[in-house]
Structure 1
Amino acid sequence: MRRSVLPLLVTLSHALVILLPLVAMETQEEARGCRGASPPQTSEHDCAWRCIIFTLQWPGGFCASLYNQTLCRIPDTVTDWTIHGLWPLHAQRCCNCWPMFQSDVQELKDELVENWPSLLKTKSSFQFWEQEWAKHGACAACVEGFNSPQKYFQISLKLRKWFEIQRVLEDAGIAPSCERRYKVAEVQSILTPHVGDQYEIQCVLDHKDRQVWFQVKIRLSRDLTLGCPHPEAGSGPGSGPSPGHPCPPEVPFFYLPINHQKPERPCD
């Protein structure tokens, strides 16, 4: 019997309320600057971003997009959607002199390895996290709840727990397959009650030029409530470049299984 996903939205709303004190809507009076230096003054223009994108990627789809069959790896412990990033939109103030160290995420390392692993053999998981902090986390750091690497990654992990995409899909009979294809509208009818109505299902082309489900980009306001009514909500600086594109509504796509032995060719 199919379970309703509507209660999940209510649960998510209550959970977000608990986190709101962490993520203050007001800009800090003084933004965090380079370590060891006096924090520079900030203004509302410096911290004008209002929308943030939380992106989850499906390892089976990500690896299928890589034509080089030696690049991808999926750790044996990974069997679910993983975090790609948390990206503020149109962030103006990015402190590129704020380095991230192993010690910043030491307490979170086990959770990050499980939920935010690097899927590339050429990049360690820490290098992946370091890159996401430098490109996106430091741009969000003018908001109090994001103003350290630890806080940025803590919030990302909390969001990963709230958005249980795989369970919601499985409850609705949507499962990875080498044969079955899915329509955008079919998947949207399942995800919308869980993630709101401002999100994007993204696909990539595999080596057979088939549309393959790659990731989901969920739009939030900077207080972490679902959706973002501000006019800046859309693509732009800080949205996070990726090889994905919106899945064409008229073309059914594959939701490929994870194959740890053959990650780029899971159905061969």
Structure 2
Amino acid sequence: MAKNAESFLSLLSWPGSYCGAAKQGCCYPKTGKPTKDFKIGGIWPLSFTGEMPTNCESNTHFRLSVISNLTKSLENEWPSLSCPISGSSKLWEQEWTKYGTCSKPLFGGQYHYFHAALNLRNKVNILKMLSSAGIHPNGSFYSLRKIVDAIQSRVTYMPAIMCNEDKSGNKQLYQILLCGDTTGTKIVDCLGLPRSNCSEKIKFPSF
């Protein structure tokens, strides 16, 4: 199925929403609290039919040594916030096994998968886009439409906005989904974006 992929979903997650979610807390990695910015939440192959293939090659194992010159950037841009602390490399291994193995026909292997994730992350500065529109991570509530417009006006293409809930049941800005091309080098239009689960007004928590 990976050979039929037309694009890749690039997920950018707000750590303040992960840490403030009702269903889990968070633990900072051994490298310390991540910088206050959107982080990579995943990069998933997306087929022409909108399906996301997973676990394509069970015999293709993750090797940290292959991405040794990317680990510093990955620690900053793709940290694990799950508890108990298990190290971000465990998260990268899980993502490679589930999604990265389905990208091999296009990206060519493990190194290119993680390089593409970093490259697509660097194509957009979501926090700056939102701040320029007066949308700040301070616990205030903002219009979902305003958030979408702030991003779309800068990247041209429509993003998908996903929310989770804080401990009080408020919907909060959690993930921004955009599509990258099959080379992982630029943001493109996406036919298979999931439908937003957010309310009309959503919280943008601090971190």
TM score, norm. by length of structure 2: 0.86
In the superposition, relative to structure 1, how do residues 167 and 87 fare at CA in structure 2: closer, same or farther (>3 Å)? same
Amino acid at match of 1:78: T
User: Structure 2 regions of 5+ residues with no counterpart?
Assistant: none
> Deviating runs (4+, > 6 A) in structure 1?
none
Which residue of 1 is the match for residue 6 of structure 2? 50
Question: What secondary structure sits across from 1:188 in the alignment?
Answer: helix
Aligned match of 1:111 in 65, 73, 79? 73
Which residue of 2 is the match for residue 11 of structure 1? none
For the pair 1:254 / 2:203, whether they are aligned, the reply is yes
Alpha-carbon separation, structure 1, partners of 2:23 and 2:181: 36
Amino acid at match of 2:63: F
Structure with the bigger percentage of strand: 2
Q: Deviations over 1:128-181 (max 9, x none)?
A: 0011111111101111xx121111111111111111101111222211112x21
Question: What secondary structure sits across from 1:139 in the alignment?
Answer: helix
Alpha-carbon separation, structure 2, partners of 1:68 and 1:60: 12
Question: Is 2:55–2:99's contact at 8 Å kept on the other side of the alignment?
Answer: no
Distance apart, 1:83 and its partner CA: 0.2
Aligned match of 2:88 in 115, 119, 125? 125
Which residue of 2 is the match for residue 188 of structure 1? 148
Which residue of 2 is the match for residue 4 of structure 1? none
Alpha-carbon separation, structure 2, partners of 1:225 and 1:79: 23
Distance apart, 1:93 and its partner CA: 8.2
Question: Is 1:65–1:206's contact at 8 Å kept on the other side of the alignment?
Answer: yes
Distance apart, 1:51 and its partner CA: 2.5
Aligned match of 1:161 in 113, 119, 122? 122
Q: After the TM superposition, which residues 80-159 of structure 1 pair with which residues of structure 2 at under 5 Å, given as runs?
A: 80-89=37-46, 90=51, 91=53, 94-122=56-84, 123-143=86-106, 146-159=107-120
Amino acid at match of 2:28: R
Distance apart, 1:254 and its partner CA: 0.7
In the superposition, relative to structure 1, how do residues 221 and 228 fare at CA in structure 2: closer, same or farther (>3 Å)? farther
Alpha-carbon separation, structure 2, partners of 1:222 and 1:191: 22
Amino acid at match of 2:113: Y
Distance apart, 1:234 and its partner CA: 4.2
Alpha-carbon separation, structure 2, partners of 1:93 and 1:102: 18
Alpha-carbon separation, structure 2, partners of 1:111 and 1:173: 29
Output the aligned Cα RMSD.
Answer: 2.2
What percentage of residue pairs aligned between the two structures are identical?
Answer: 25
Alpha-carbon separation, structure 2, partners of 1:210 and 1:227: 30
For the pair 1:213 / 2:180, whether they are aligned, the reply is no
Alpha-carbon separation, structure 2, partners of 1:92 and 1:214: 23
Amino acid at match of 2:75: V
Distance apart, 1:245 and its partner CA: 5.5
Question: What secondary structure sits across from 2:4 in the alignment?
Answer: coil
Question: Is 1:212–1:256's contact at 8 Å kept on the other side of the alignment?
Answer: yes
